[in-house]
């Protein structure tokens, strides 16, 4: 899958940045799965992360997101 190949390349670059303290992902709320990115990261991809991975529902409003911060 091209998306997974892209993730394998992009995530390590993003996580190399010293200012990154967590990886926040919006999960797909319109299908039976959370999406390929989350599926990858909750599987073997999590071993590549050096920061916590936070999953939130992808349908949160800006106001709801602001309350989380």
Measured at the CA of 5, the angle between CA 2 and CA 30, to 5 degrees, comes to 60
State pLDDT tens for residues 13-22. 776 777 888 8
State pLDDT tens for residues 38-68. 787 788 878 877 788 888 888 999 899 889 8
pTM, to two decimals:
0.65
User: What is the distance, to the nearest Å, from the Cα of residue 48 to the centroid of all Cα atoms in its chain?
Assistant: 12
Measured at the CA of 38, the angle between CA 30 and CA 29, to 5 degrees, comes to 15
């Amino acid at each position: 899958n091209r998306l997974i190949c892209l993730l394998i390349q992009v995530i390590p670059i993003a996580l190399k940045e010293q200012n990154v303290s967590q990886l926040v992902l919006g999960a797909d709320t319109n299908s039976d799965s959370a999406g390929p990115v989350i599926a990858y990261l909750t599987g073997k991809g999590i071993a590549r992360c050096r920061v916590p991975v936070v999953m939130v529902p992808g349908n949160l409003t800006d106001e709801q997101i602001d309350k989380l911060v």
